[in-house]
Amino acid sequence: MKYLLKNVVITDPQSKWNGKKRDILIGSGRIEVISEQITPPKNCQVLEMKGSSISPGWVDIGCYGGEPGMEERESLQSLSMAALAGGYTRLACMPNTQPSVHSRSEVHFLISASQSLGIHLHPIGAVSKNNASLEMAEILQMHEAGAIAFSDGTAGVQKSGLLRRVLEYIQLIPGAILIQHSHDDDLSPKSQVHESKDTAALGLKADPSVAEFSAVQRDISILEYTGSSMLINKISAAESVSTIRKAKKNNPKLFCSVSIFHLAFKDQDLTTFDSSLKLIPPLRSHQDQKSLWQGLSDGTVDLVVSDHSPVNPELKDLEFQNAAFGAISLQTSYSLFNTLSPVGNPTSLWVDKVSVMPRKIFGLPVASVEEGQEAELTWFHESLQWHYTQHNNQSRSVNSPLIGKQLTGAVLGVFNKGRFFDNKSLIL
């Protein structure tokens, strides 16, 4: 079947059609024609909604799933459904599963299992065996099997010697990159919230910003010594933004990301002890949040990530101090960004941070809105309002601070792998 998108605004900085309103005819999984007006051919489904936009498919780096081993939280199928509902065509998943993705066999399993999914799944291999930061995992073998990067997830590499060896090893592998959670756990063991005047009355163990930005400084120093490649994942402190901004001037192999949660929420939002906002790193101050947005605008921050982290209800629906960390977000990340962005053109910034940059940094296939290109596209609407509920939530988990909320900005559908995934039943 052919599909005809009518009167969509094209948001793609790599396309000659960027910023223009056009009709787009898609057939056999490819963009056949882009023109001001196209007459629908036979056997063609017309897709039209006034004010809608189209962009290259979105990519999320570093989300968490559940399979293998924790399918009660999230199966690969439910992860794919949540991603498609949120506009994503590709996911790179962290290796923190049971067993950990720390050898060739786990990478092969994920790639094989993803063939039947609506998304492209890109494994991230563990840096250390069982993510224990003791012994280096089979990095070369995992790279050859298809892992696009390496990380120990939110554990990070704490030991400087191991970090040096990992970076030196990765440097020898073309295109390999370390995704590092920079945090000095010794400065805030078992912390729960950001250290600030707004959280002082909560009676919870606090995490000072220095635990993050001191680790950022260390990690950048070791990176520069080894000449390797690294993405510092989910920075949250203003000092981290400043440090990375300076370091990037002389280091083209240094990148960083920010979680959608830290762009949308801050430590003041924890006064109600909402355990769905118990996150790693913790939500920080309003000033930290402003610095993160500024870092996005000036190019210091390269990616916006969902930090999708499904958790079982029995581990999350507890008193704040006993609840597990993490929240789901694949389905709602765009809506949050679109609603809260203080910049003048949030759509173009969003597309740059979730489509263009992740493909460049991780060497993923380029997607573009051009004739003859494979149709890997996200169709969305900036001003459409919708309610996010347990009924239309596509994840197996429900640990979201947005359940029951009205959101602005919706994903209408996704073209991927030669198919069209229609989301309108979830939002209208």
pLDDT of residue 344: 78
pTM of structure: 0.96
Residues 6 or more apart whose Cβ sits within 8 Å of residue 339: 407, 408, 409
The answer to whether residues 26 and 77 belong to one domain is no
Q: Of 334, 362, 390, which residue constitutes the final position of a domain?
A: 362
Mean pLDDT of 115-139: 94
pLDDT of residue 180: 98
Q: Band of the pLDDT at 343, cuts 50, 70, 90? A: confident
pLDDT of residue 139: 95
How many CA atoms lie within 13 Å of 173's alpha carbon, on the beta-carbon side? 24
Whether pLDDT at 345 is above 90: no
The answer to whether residues 65 and 193 belong to one domain is yes
The answer to whether residues 109 and 232 belong to one domain is yes
163 in a structural domain: yes
pLDDT of residue 324: 96
Quote the tokens at residue 287: 């000033």
The answer to whether residues 14 and 79 belong to one domain is no
pLDDT tens per residue, range 48-75: 999 999 999 999 999 999 999 999 999 9
pLDDT of residue 201: 84
pLDDT of residue 155: 87
Crossing angle, helix 210-226 and helix 238-248, to 10 degrees?
20
Residue span of the structural domain in which 30 resides: 2-54+370-427
pLDDT tens per residue, range 240-261: 999 999 999 999 999 999 999 9
The answer to whether residues 99 and 10 belong to one domain is no
The answer to whether residues 207 and 71 belong to one domain is yes
The answer to whether residues 164 and 297 belong to one domain is yes
351 in a structural domain: no
The answer to whether residues 319 and 413 belong to one domain is no
Q: Of 307, 336, 362, which residue constitutes the final position of a domain?
A: 362
Q: For the chain, give the mean pLDDT.
A: 96
- Total of domains in the chain: 2
Mean pLDDT of 282-288: 97
> Could you count the other beta carbons within 10 Å of the beta carbon of residue 371?
14
pLDDT of residue 406: 96
Q: Of 333, 362, 391, which residue constitutes the final position of a domain?
A: 362
The answer to whether residues 161 and 104 belong to one domain is yes
Residues serving a catalytic function are 307
